[in-house]
Amino acid sequence: MMKIINCNNKTLKNQMLDFRKSLYKNNPYFKNSEQLTLKDMLFKKTTFSKGAMIEPLLVEEHGEIYSSALLIHEKNFCEYVQIAFFECKEGYEEAGRVLIDYAIEKAREMDVPKVLIGMNGHVNYGLGILSSDFQSPQSFGSSYNPEFYLKIFEGYPHNKVVLTSLLKDLSTFSMEKVDKVLERVNRNYSFRIMNISDLKNEIEIYTRLNNEIFKEHKFYYHRESTMDFELFKDLSYLIKGENLIFAYKDKEPIGFLLWYPDFHELVAPYKSFGVSTVLKNKFMSHSIEKVKIVELGVLSKYRNTGVTFGLLKKCYELTKNRYKLCESSWILDYNFPSVNCGLTFDFQEYKKFNVYEIQVERCKTISR
């Protein structure tokens, strides 16, 4: 009989990490950079993980592990119990259902109305279950999973939110069609890159903008700047000041754009970041072919001013002739302004991702 095990010691937590690695061994499309965040959450190393309720779980039978996940409940996102970093061994889908059933009953006991599948604690740590292009390389900042996970999740009564990433061949990219808008923008607004030597203060601006710009976003919730500072600090050996661009109206920060080279191109399949990644980034960064636009946001009162185009123009100036492709992060399918912005520059739909909301009251009570 399959049983749930709470990973309440170092040995069990390391077994979870090893189980995850074993599932993707020799998979040419998977890169294990998410393990850094998973490890931080497992061992309570960050401000986020110390403040949230995190329950690491394994499902095993006869000493063999068949599924794993973190259950997360955060006070600023209190209507959900999250199933994060879900994994399951193919052929043992019942183990995945055992884990989800446990999460539903846990939510019921806590009087939490919904279970969420597809977010790793916060959108800044990852959002979306891959639902297309399973035989394409996983880019940095996006998720990867096998296709059979979808069937497990969709066996429950759910609301499915669809996300889409966009892709553009930069050899055909041009901003000429918005030149007149940019003339006006450049007269009224200014743009600058992050001062990485003053990272703490710069991230305070970044977090403050995030909290205001995305406060109406379905899955975003308020966070402290220390959380983002820790996230950026983890990547400080890879990122540069140019990767975060701020927009200003006089002395007021009003928007930002975060972009990265696709660092996954420097990582071998099913491996994580390490010393070799740092060295490759230092000496072989010119070999990276894709740039990722990770986040783009402008305060609501400035959204129809063309500032978004100004941020994109600054990013284009910084990256011009360095990369062949540009991929956006996920965009909610009903986020029409972002979708239309992509269409303005002839970006094409690329990968699809799902997020699943399970209403606890629609699920049968399961005794455990």
The mean-pLDDT minimum among 85-94, 214-223, 282-291, 303-312 falls in: 282-291
- The type of residue at 78 is C
Tokens of 266: 């420097």
Mean of the pLDDT values across residues 232-237?
89
In contact, 205 and 242? CB cutoff 8 Å? no
The predicted-structure confidence for 242-292, as pLDDT tens digits, reads as follows 999 999 999 999 999 999 999 999 988 877 877 677 667 776 778 999 999
Decide if 3-165+354-362 and 168-351 have a common fold. Answer: yes
Stated pTM of the model:
0.94
Residue whose C-alpha is closest to residue 229's, from 259, 262, 194: 194
How confident is the model at residue 278, as a pLDDT? 65
Question: pLDDT category, 234, cuts 50, 70, 90?
Answer: confident
- CA 325, CA 228: separation in Å to the nearest integer? 27
- Contact residues for 4 (Cβ-Cβ < 8 A; gap 6+): 57, 58, 59, 98, 99, 102, 368
Task: Kindly calculate the radius of gyration of the chain based on its CA atoms and give it in whole angstroms.
Answer: 21
Lowest mean pLDDT among 62-71, 201-210, 261-270: 261-270
Which two three-digit tokens encode residue 88? 């399951």
The structure tokens listed for 9 are 């010691």
Every domain of the chain and the residues it spans: 3-165+354-362, 168-351
DSSP at 364: P
Strand-strand pairing, 80-88 and 114-117 = parallel
Q: For 308-359, how does the pLDDT look when each residue is reduced to its tens digit (9 = 90+)? A: 999 999 999 999 999 999 999 998 876 756 767 777 888 999 999 999 999 9
Pairwise CA distance, residues 338 & 118, whole Å: 21
Q: Are 131 and 152 in contact (CB under 8 A)?
A: no
Residue 164, phi then psi, degrees to nearest 5? -135, 135
Q: Which helix (H) or strand (E) holds 350?
A: strand 348-359
Q: What percent of the chain has pLDDT over 70?
A: 96
pLDDT score at 284 = 75
* pLDDT at 367 > cutoff 60: no
Alpha-carbon distance of 329 to 217, in angstroms, equals 15
> What topology does CATH give the domain 168-351?
Aminopeptidase (3.40.630)
Arithmetic mean of pLDDT, 235-245: 93
Q: What's the pLDDT tens digit per position in 158-203? A: 999 999 999 999 999 999 999 999 999 999 999 999 999 999 999 9
Specify the pLDDT at position 279.
67
Q: Which CATH number fits domain 3-165+354-362: 3.40.630.30, 2.60.120.10, 3.40.710.10, 3.30.565.10?
A: 3.40.630.30
d(CA 224, CA 64): 39
